[in-house]
Amino acid sequence: SGSSANRIKFGTSQDLSIWHDGSHSYIHDTGTGNLRIRGDDVEITDNASNNNMARFTKNGAVDLYHNGSKKFETSSTGGTLTGDLYTTSRLFVNTTDAGESNGDEATFANTGGNAGITIRSAVDAETKIYFSEGTSGGSQYRGAINYNHNTNYMAFSANETETMRILSGGGITFNGDTATA
């Protein structure tokens, strides 16, 4: 924690210290209040290349960087993440109640009206939901729901095989056979 001879101390109680212990540098506040850093535009950068690590702008964004690339930024409407987001727990949107324990990994709520999830793809592409039991081969898509935007059908698969299709005109096929009624 550095010898007191190498510390610069501030305050009437000398509760703010700055020191270097030979390996690390410290700013240490032991007072009862908060440690406040003030400025209209505050940047934390690395020493070697002056790459941003964090940036705080007065009346504006807070930006966080990884290796000089902005990964998270706040705005007046929320925040934007660039890259993948991994969570080690659950995802809640507009709620703190997980709901049914067999389906509580992601919970979306609108207690004032209808609720839903939108999955969007290109005009002539497919939108899919996969039911997986593993991370390779067929275990990634044992079951599936597929909407084909090119011909506008919806298909349901079980055990990696399409078992039912709802056609754009309203007909139904089972394993490729068209139902007569």
pLDDT at position 5 is 61
* Tally of helices (H runs) and strands (E runs) in the chain: 0, 16
pLDDT at position 143 is 97
Q: Name residues of the chain where pLDDT drops below 50.
A: 181
Residue 99 contacts residue 108 (beta carbons within 8 Å): no
End-to-end CA distance of the chain: 82
What are the C-alpha distances in Å from 134 to residues 128, 139, 155? 17, 5, 22
pLDDT at position 86 is 93
CB atoms within 10 A of CB 106: 13
Q: Whole-prediction pTM value?
A: 0.71
Residue 132 contacts residue 141 (beta carbons within 8 Å): yes
pLDDT at position 50 is 84
Name the residue among 30, 26, 4 with its Cα closest to residue 15.
30
Side-chain-side CA neighbours of 158 within 13 Å: the count stands at: 5
